[in-house]
């Protein structure tokens, strides 16, 4: 699981990494990315809604993605 410190980095650089977010989850709109604004819980909820996945699966996807980022 991505560490809290790692997610803090993601959250702090949200505007700079929205392109990476869109590469990973292309169905998220610019408005949704602005709404998420680095909030992990909101991102997980959007992934559940858009992709029809369980919360645990959304969190696993987020962890895997965040761990791959070079922050």
CATH code of the domain in which 59 resides = 1.10.1470.10
What is the extent of the structural domain holding 48?
4-68
pLDDT score for 28:
97
What secondary structure does DSSP assign to 6-50, as a single string?
Answer: HHHHHHHTHHHHHHHHHHHSTT--HHHHHHHTT-HHHHHHHHHHH
Total domain count, the chain: 1
pTM (two decimals): 0.90
Rounded average pLDDT per 10-residue block, the chain, 71 residues: 74 94 96 97 98 97 91 74
Distances (CA, A) of 41 to 36, 37: 8, 11
């Amino acid at each position: 699981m991505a560490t809290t410190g790692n997610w803090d980095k993601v959250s702090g650089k949200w505007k700079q990494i929205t392109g990476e977010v869109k590469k990973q989850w292309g169905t998220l709109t610019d408005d949704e990315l602005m709404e998420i604004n680095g909030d992990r819980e909101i991102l997980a909820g959007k992934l559940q809604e858009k992709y029809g996945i369980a919360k645990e699966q959304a969190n696993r996807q987020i962890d895997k993605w965040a761990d791959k980022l070079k922050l």
